[in-house]
Amino acid sequence: MRLSRYFLPVLKENPAEAQIVSHRLMLRAGMIKQASAGIYSWLPLGFKVLRKIENIVHEEQTRAGHIPMLMPTLQSADLWRESGRYDDYGEEMLRISDRHGRDMLYGPTNEELITDIFRSHVNSYKDLPMTLYHIQWKFRDEIRPRFGVMRGREFLMKDGYNFDLTKEDALHAYNRHLVSYLRTYERMGLQAIPMRADGGPIGGDYTHEFLVLAETGESEVFYDSQVTDLTFGDREIDYSSVEQCQSVLEEFTSRYARTDETHDPALFEQIPEDRRRVARGIEVGQIFYFGTKYSEPMGATVQGQDGKPVPVHMGSHGIGVSRLMGAIIEASHDDRGIIWPEGVTPFHCGIVNLKQGDAEADTACDKLYAALTAVGLEPLYDDRNERAGGKFATMDLIGLPWRITVGPRGLKNGVVELTSRRTGESEELPPEEAVKKVAEIYRPHHQAAPHWEPMAKGSFHTWL
Ligand code: 5CA
């Protein structure tokens, strides 16, 4: 992409309405525009990151054996009457009636809809276990939408639902989700800590929230500092292995880590004082096991081995896809702007031409652009007729992790400059070497997962 041809409406001034840094930077970097309270348009740069986050979620879900699908945003109230939640859910549910006076709602979550699909088509224990998921817009009429995409009214969520014959199988599904989530967040450059939580309107008392520690987080959290030493890394997991998933769950949840809703001061006191931490966190996901809470009232049964109908054991598992963008920025920025982790960056590498219009510099940039594209990377080339300072400021603001700077002086010596956004360190090297180095940096991300839908082989380009 050439910046002169792109739509990147950056703001020079800090928008007054933004209270936290991620909201401020998303507005300044031209990623989102508020359409109405808690509802946003995703401008091209923001949309690109959203798709990257979504792709990682898809890749890790399909890796865990979960099946992608898509359900609608608008749902009939009838299903929610069956589960009893139409009355229970309260004012957060946006209720609509259609021209025939039928009660509809904009889905805040999908337990009822998925249970209806399941009961219509699945009859036998032989079809289990099964986990279906989708990534779809949700609406919750939050009383105080704030912090940009962090607490929106319309937001993108991955929600997955497991159907199992027994509680034991459903707990394996729960553990499998926990493992896949650890991998998912780490690929986005985040540490998200599973913490004991409260079931809320979804239900069940077997639930963990995943929290990214951040001063601006809305949840108060209490934990043993040892939990922050844990990383999932690149370990290979057999998701069908009950033992392997269970042992990861134990490793990541055996130390004290709770949100304020489940915090137990007496238990907390038992941790050595120097390891006790009270902090704030951003909830980027939550997993639930709730047994037969929906299957029983809605009649979602399968024939067991003895031929008798049994209600299935279920759980649901959510990731805040759009909220994650805010969380990533909260965790990774400096006073000049965003610093994208390689896994979710909207473009892999910026190219800054210090002397636009200089034949040699222009040619060198075009060549770099072609070479980066040829190895499957997506560069953003700042080809505008602007001062170098302005170009650097834009690149720093939008946060591409790598930048190649091209100018007549360097070219005389046969070199360009490769700069890391994170460390600020630069090195001079021949253009081919710079391309090789950037390709090498992205290789692990390139190989991270089998793609969940057709994409050009050996290419980073998603379907965007
Ligand atoms: N049905 C279950 C799991 S699929 C469910 O709805 N869980 S949830 O309520 O915990 O939501 C899942 C995730 O969506 C949360 O962890 C959070 O990251 C995100 N989320 C929830 N409300 C909002 C909101 N108002 N704005 C942005 N993200 C939100």
pLDDT in tens, 335-390: 999 999 999 999 999 999 999 999 999 999 999 999 999 999 999 999 999 999 99
pLDDT at 458 over 80: no
Q: What angle do CA 174, 158, 462 make, to 5 degrees?
A: 120
DSSP 146-179: BTGGGB-SEEEEEEEEEEESSHHHHHHHHHHHHH
pLDDT given for residue 311 in this prediction: 97
C-alpha 266 – ligand 1 centre gap (Å) = 29
pLDDT in tens, 159-174: 999 999 999 999 999 9
More confident residue, 317 or 463: 317
pLDDT at 454 over 90: no
- The minimum-distance atom of ligand 1 relative to the CA of 140 is 25
Q: How high does pLDDT run on average in the chain?
A: 94
Residue nearest to atom 6 of ligand 1 (CA): 109
**Tokens, residue 235:** 């370990």
What residue ranges in 49-113 does DSSP mark as E strands? 67-68, 74-76, 94-97, 103-106
Q: What percent of the chain has pLDDT over 70?
A: 96
CATH architecture of 349-463: 3-Layer(aba) Sandwich (3.40)
In order of 400, 406, 410, 459, the CA distances from 376 in angstroms are 16, 21, 26, 4
pLDDT in tens, 252-307: 999 999 999 999 999 999 999 999 999 999 999 999 999 999 999 999 999 999 99
CB 255, CB 223: distance < 8 Å: yes
C-alpha 288 – ligand 1 centre gap (Å) = 12
Residue nearest to atom 27 of ligand 1 (CA): 151
Task: Please tell me the total number of residues recorded for the chain in this structure.
Answer: 464
C-alpha 359 – ligand 1 centre gap (Å) = 52
In order of 134, 356, 363, 411, the CA distances from 359 in angstroms are 50, 8, 6, 11
3-state SS, residue 349: strand
- The minimum-distance atom of ligand 1 relative to the CA of 110 is 1
pLDDT at 1 over 60: yes
C-alpha 90 – ligand 1 centre gap (Å) = 16
Q: How confident is the model at residue 239 (pLDDT cuts 50, 70, 90)?
A: very high
Residue nearest to atom 13 of ligand 1 (CA): 320
Tell me which residues have their CB closer than 6 angstroms to ligand 1: 109, 140, 142, 151-152, 155, 157, 159, 202, 283-286, 316-318, 320, 322-323
CB 83, CB 92: distance < 8 Å: no
**Tokens, residue 337:** 């702007």
pLDDT given for residue 358 in this prediction: 96
CB 301, CB 309: distance < 8 Å: yes
Supply φ then ψ for residue 360, to 5 degrees: -70, -45
pLDDT given for residue 333 in this prediction: 98
Q: How confident is the model at residue 106 (pLDDT cuts 50, 70, 90)?
A: very high
> What mean pLDDT do residues 134-147 have?
96
- Dist CA 191 CA 351 (whole Å): 30
pLDDT given for residue 462 in this prediction: 41
Tell which residue, 312, 317, 319, 310, has the closest CA to residue 293: 312
C-alpha 371 – ligand 1 centre gap (Å) = 41
DSSP 2: B
Q: Is the dihedral of CA 274, 196, 60, 343 positive or negative?
A: negative
H helices of 311-416, in order, are 321-331, 359-374, 388-398, 408-412
- Dist CA 397 CA 248 (whole Å): 38
Amino acid found at 298? M
C-alpha 111 – ligand 1 centre gap (Å) = 13
- Dist CA 208 CA 206 (whole Å): 7
pLDDT at 139 over 50: yes
Among 113-127, 270-284, 444-458, the minimum mean pLDDT is found in 444-458
How do the domains of the chain map onto residue ranges? Answer: 3-337, 349-463
pLDDT in tens, 401-415: 999 999 999 999 999
Q: What angle do CA 345, 347, 352 make, to 5 degrees?
A: 125
Residue nearest to atom 29 of ligand 1 (CA): 320
> What mean pLDDT do residues 33-37 have?
97
Pocket test for ligand 1, best of 154, 162, 286 (most atoms within 8 A of CB): 286
> What mean pLDDT do residues 51-60 have?
97
pLDDT at 20 over 90: yes
Burial degree of 145 (CB within 10 A; 0-12, 13-18, 19+) = buried
**Tokens, residue 48:** 């690109």
Tell which residue, 353, 430, 426, has the closest CA to residue 394: 353
Pocket test for ligand 1, best of 144, 211, 323, 324 (most atoms within 8 A of CB): 323
CATH architecture of 3-337: 2-Layer Sandwich (3.30)
> What mean pLDDT do residues 303-332 have?
97
